[in-house]
Every structure is written in C-alpha cells, then in structure tokens.
Amino acid sequence: MPDPPRRGRPPDEKLAAERRRALIEAAYAVFAEKGYIAAGIADIDERLDVGRGTFYRHFQSKREILDHVVDHALERFLAAIAAEAPPGEAGTFDEFAGQMRRISDRVFAIAAAEPGLMRLLIFEATSIDDALTERLLELLDTMTATVAAYLDHGVRAGYLRADLDTHVVADALNYVLMPAVMQMLRGTFGPDDRERYQHGVMALVGDGIRR
C-alpha cells in the first residue's frame, strides 16, 4: 500500500537552508563573543531572536554547529587570500612582496575586527577534540599550498632563488604571522606596530628568498 499523504504544509527547503545559515552566523557571533565552552544553545536562539527549540530542528548539538562555524571562519580566511591577484600577476620581487603584504593586511584586519574568533580558533578549537584539531591543521595546509603557488611562480619568473623549497618557506610565512596575531589579542599591537612587523619580516625573508 502506498504511504498516506502527509498533512500540513510541505517543508520549504530554501527557507530551511536560510534558517540554518542564520543559526550558523548567530553561533559564529556567540562563540566569538563568549567562547565555545561558555556559550549555550539558548544564547544562539536568543541572538537570532527565535523561539526555544528552533536550534534543535536544524542541529543536534552545539558541537555539530561548531563544525559549521569553523567552516564559516575558514571561508573568510581563504577568501582573504583568494582576493589577491593570482601568482602570475607578479613580475618582480617588489610586486610579489606587495602581494604578500596585502594578504597579511587582510588576515590582520580579520583578527583586529574579531579577536573573539581568533581566540576560538587558536585556544579553544584545538582543545575540543582531535577531529576539529585535524580540520584546523588541514586549513593551514591549504594556506601553505596557496602561498607556495606564489613562491613557485617567483622561482619560474626568476625573481626568487632557483633552489628555494617553496613548501617550507610558505609554511614559515604562514606561521610567522602568529606572533603578531597574539599581540593583537593582547591589545598591544597598533597600526604602527603592524607596519614595523611586516617590514621586518619582509626584510628578513626577502633577503633569504630573493634571487
């Protein structure tokens, strides 16, 4: 026998997707403000101004939505890098240095605008479970591969050293931003400090990788 028809209004997939997205953005804001451990499901519902129980119609737990929040955050960082001109646009070392500076400017801008998000990713996320730690490490791998593409082009174009290990240098360039981000979280890193830091890093790295 065929199943009897369901009563009531059929689910609107577009509306459900929009509500899920809104819940993720609300959780993003709550976790960045309060931290993952201190935040509760009620805080997310309240931020979105929806009735109690709305959350559980779309997600099973706070841990489940955290995965989506992290994805949302990672998309922002990757978009900051993707917004830069492709590697092939740089024909000289100075143009390459300008690309690296603009990428770091965008990362610093995110860190300055949302310090709570940085605390979540750096301090909290890696202590929740191994699966989330692995996802964050995969993000670093992606960022390394992206920066390595700029370095590879520089080697082919002739303005970077021919014997350069581009993967190792790209990894180092990603991690070299971390001390500056930590200082920003402490509130002791202003625009002048950022300028000094970027200049010092490019002076150090540039001397080592320039042909």
The SS3 assignment for 210 reads strand
Supply 25's token pair. Answer: 């953005």
158 in any annotated domain: yes
The answer to whether 211 touches 158, Cβ cutoff 8 Å, is yes
Q: Is 125's pLDDT higher than 90?
A: no
2 in any annotated domain: no
Domain that holds residue 81: 63-209
pLDDT digits (tens, 9 = 90+) for 149-185: 999 999 999 999 999 999 999 998 888 888 888 888 8
Q: Is 14's pLDDT higher than 50?
A: yes
109 in any annotated domain: yes
Better pLDDT: 154 or 15: 154
184 in any annotated domain: yes
The reply to whether 55 and 74 lie within a common domain is: no
Instruction: Supply the pLDDT for residue 53.
Output: 79
4 in any annotated domain: no
pLDDT digits (tens, 9 = 90+) for 96-123: 999 888 888 888 888 888 888 888 888 8
Closest C-alpha to 142, from 64, 75, 70: 75
6 in any annotated domain: no
Q: CB-based burial of residue 209 (10 Å sphere; 0-12 exposed, 13-18 middle, 19+ buried)?
A: buried
CATH of the domain at 96: 1.10.357
The reply to whether 41 and 89 lie within a common domain is: no
How far, CA to CA in Å, does 39 sit from each of 25, 36, 62, 168? Answer: 14, 5, 9, 38
Reported pTM: 0.77
The reply to whether 188 and 135 lie within a common domain is: yes
The reply to whether 72 and 44 lie within a common domain is: no
The reply to whether 49 and 106 lie within a common domain is: no
Give a three-class secondary structure readout of 142-198: HHHHHHHHHHHHHHHHCCECCCCCHHHHHHHHHHCCHHHHHHHHCCCCCHHHHHHHH
Is the C-alpha dihedral spanning 195, 104, 70, 54 positive or negative?
A: positive
The count of domains in the chain is: 2
136 in any annotated domain: yes
108 in any annotated domain: yes
